Amino acid sequence: MILTSFFSCNKIDKNRKQIPIDNNIVVNKYNQNRVIGIWKIHGEENSTFQIKKDSIYYTDGGQTCKYEIVNDSFYIYYDGWVDRSKYEITGNKLFFNSELVKDTFERFD
């Protein structure tokens, strides 16, 4: 079952401009639950980050940031800027595609 919610807000891009968001944007709670967990880069022994219900924790830097999943995009709210990537989950792999980089992470067991 896919649970969704609707909300209205504004986003801030890297240039700190307001990006208006459509009132009918779907936040897919099913996919949010699928990303919750500990993730690592393929071949690495240690985790890279842990995604929790309301935040993402970077294990190496000890930094915690808020995040949001909207449609097929994953927004991470860093101090002073927002990173937006298209994301996809296939099995135990999490893919992030941004304008600058494509990352693949594996679920950390």
User: Can you tell me whether residue 54 is helix, strand or coil?
Assistant: coil
Q: What pLDDT digit, counting tens, does each position of 11-65 carry?
A: 444 443 334 444 444 455 666 788 999 999 988 999 999 999 989 999 999 999 9
The pLDDT value given to residue 25: 47
pLDDT at residue 99 in the model: 84
Task: Give the pLDDT confidence of 79-103 residue by residue, as tens digits.
Answer: 989 999 999 999 999 999 998 889 9
Residue 96 sits at φ, ψ, to 5 deg, of -120, 125
Question: What are the backbone dihedrals phi and psi of residue 30, each rounded to the nearest 5 degrees, phi first?
Answer: -60, -50
CATH top-level class of 25-107? mainly beta
pTM score: 0.70
Q: How far is CA 89 from CA 9, 21, 106, in A?
A: 25, 24, 10
